[in-house]
């Protein structure tokens, strides 16, 4: 029994992170589906949904206004979700430049802000962006060109993590390169399972109003497109640049993503139907398997404790080393204490140093 649990858990985990990319590589070689991309200039509505972004909103709006796209074909809507830091005051200063403001007095969530903006959208193509990232000037042209292919219903841009102008770095950057590789391969055979929340576009006719408490609009919207007959592709020439976030914020983002995936399965069960979901295999391999990996890693360790002989001892040593490194990394990033108290302590120390 212990050997069965050990090997089945190990094979499952290896497939989730190694086997699936290899299958995609073979699939791409055997049956690629390239996008027929060509220059196109549809009417576009750019939606910038934001909450408390006073420090970022000015530069982001200036960035959007500088994009290389005919101004008469570009509608910019800044949709504010009940900010409390004065973000709306900054955004209003751009009204004279044609930037439209959608304001909610109460904080509800990003999905509600998106719904509000789309209700006012005039473009046949919707482009969704976040407040923090910097966009390449050509992003709208690159995204729009994909819609010359009638099978394409949505396009994800590429998020590039850069630190100090030196490119991707650190563990987050390494993981993101791995994730981008998988998304690239998925796009080349049919559709990516989700988009980059910082930059993605869809045909207006594919948009469905989001439940206000939606956690992952960048997965729900693309998957809705797929279920309604469109492809969702990744265009790596449309780029948004961001800085790697602090470990505390990255941890919170991962928790939110995990909760959002469970919410997605509960609200869109048709994604688990091979007869309804044309990317059922990709969705299960990319999203669902990873939900089980933590439990299988525990099963792998426990089973290994009952197999204290030969090569199993070596594997147990490797597992102990792996988890020891993880604990050391956590301590280095957060210290022994965690949570709001330790965060407050760090903030106080920073204030004292600043004085």
pLDDT digits (tens, 9 = 90+) for 336-348: 654 444 444 444 4
Q: What are 11-35's pLDDT values in tens digits?
A: 999 999 999 999 999 999 999 999 9
Q: Does pLDDT of 169 surpass 70? A: no
Here the tokens at position 285 are 């391999």
pLDDT at 341: 44
Q: CA end-to-end span of the chain, whole Å?
A: 62
pTM: 0.86
pLDDT band at 162 (very low <50, low <70, confident <90, very high): confident
pLDDT at 245: 67
pLDDT at 210: 95
pLDDT at 243: 81
Indicate the SS3 state at residue 78.
Answer: strand
Q: What are 212-250's pLDDT values in tens digits?
A: 999 999 999 999 999 999 999 999 999 999 987 666 666
Q: How many CB atoms neighbour CB 19 within 10 A?
A: 15
Strand order in the sheet with 100-104: 100-104, 74-81, 44-50, 125-129, 199-203, 152-161, 231-242, 134-135
Q: Does pLDDT of 355 surpass 50? A: no
Here the tokens at position 140 are 């709208």
- Per DSSP, the residues of 128-188 read EE-SSPEEPTTHHHHHHHGGGSTTEEEEEEEEEE-STTS-S-HHHHHHHHHHHHHHHHHHH
Higher confidence at residue 334 or residue 151?
151
Average pLDDT, the chain: 89
Mean pLDDT of the region 257-286? 94
Residues 123, 42 contacting (CB under 8 angstroms): yes
- Looking at residue 244, the DSSP 8-state letter turns out to be P
* Sequence-separated (6 or more) residues with CB below 8 Å from residue 77: 45, 46, 47, 48, 99, 100, 101, 102, 117, 120, 121
DSSP count for the chain of H helices, then E strands: 13, 8
Pairwise CA distance, residues 201 & 267, whole Å: 22
Pairwise CA distance, residues 14 & 227, whole Å: 29
- CA atoms within a 13 Å half-sphere pointing along the CA-CB vector of 193: 22
Pairwise CA distance, residues 278 & 215, whole Å: 23
Q: What are 91-133's pLDDT values in tens digits?
A: 999 999 999 999 998 998 999 999 999 999 999 999 999 999 9
Q: What is the CATH number of domain 44-267?
A: 3.90.550.10
């Amino acid at each position: 029994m212990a050997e069965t649990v050990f090997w089945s858990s190990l094979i499952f985990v290896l497939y989730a992170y190694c086997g699936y990319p290899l299958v995609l590589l073979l699939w791409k070689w055997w049956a690629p589906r390239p996008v027929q991309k060509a220059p196109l200039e549809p009417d576009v509505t750019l939606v910038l949904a934001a909450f408390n972004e006073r420090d970022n909103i000015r530069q982001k709006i200036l960035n959007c206004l500088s994009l290389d796209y005919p101004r008469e074909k570009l509608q910019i809507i800044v949709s504010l979700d009940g900010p409390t830091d004065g973000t709306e005051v900054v955004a209003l200063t751009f009204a004279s430049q044609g930037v439209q403001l959608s304001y909610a007095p109460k904080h509800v969530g990003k999905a509600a802000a998106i719904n509000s903006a789309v209700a006012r959208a005039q473009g046949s193509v919707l482009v969704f962006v976040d407040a923090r990232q910097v966009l390449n000037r050509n992003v709208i042209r690159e995204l729009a060109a994909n819609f010359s292919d009638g099978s394409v219903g949505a396009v994800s841009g590429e998020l590039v993590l850069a630190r100090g102008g030196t490119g991707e770095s650190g563990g987050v950057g390494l993981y993101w390169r791995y994730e981008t590789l998988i998304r690239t391969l998925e796009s080349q055979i049919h559709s990516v399972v989700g988009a980059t929340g910082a930059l993605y576009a869809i045909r207006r006719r594919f948009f469905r109003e989001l439940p206000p408490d939606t956690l992952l609009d960048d997965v729900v919207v693309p998957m809705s497109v797929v279920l309604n007959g469109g492809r969702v592709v990744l265009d790596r020439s449309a780029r948004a640049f961001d800085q790697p976030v602090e470990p505390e914020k990255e941890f919170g983002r991962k928790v939110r993503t995990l909760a959002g995936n469970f919410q997605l399965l509960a609200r869109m069960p048709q994604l688990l139907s091979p007869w309804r979901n044309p990317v059922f295999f990709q969705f299960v391999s990319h999203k669902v398997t990873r939900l089980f990996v933590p439990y299988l890693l525990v099963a792998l360790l426990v089973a290994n404790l009952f197999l204290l002989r030969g090569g199993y001892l070596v594997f147990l040593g490797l597992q102990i080393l792996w988890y020891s490194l993880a604990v050391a990394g956590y301590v280095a990033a957060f210290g022994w204490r965690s949570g709001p108290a330790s965060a407050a302590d760090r903030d106080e120390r920073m204030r004292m140093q600043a004085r």
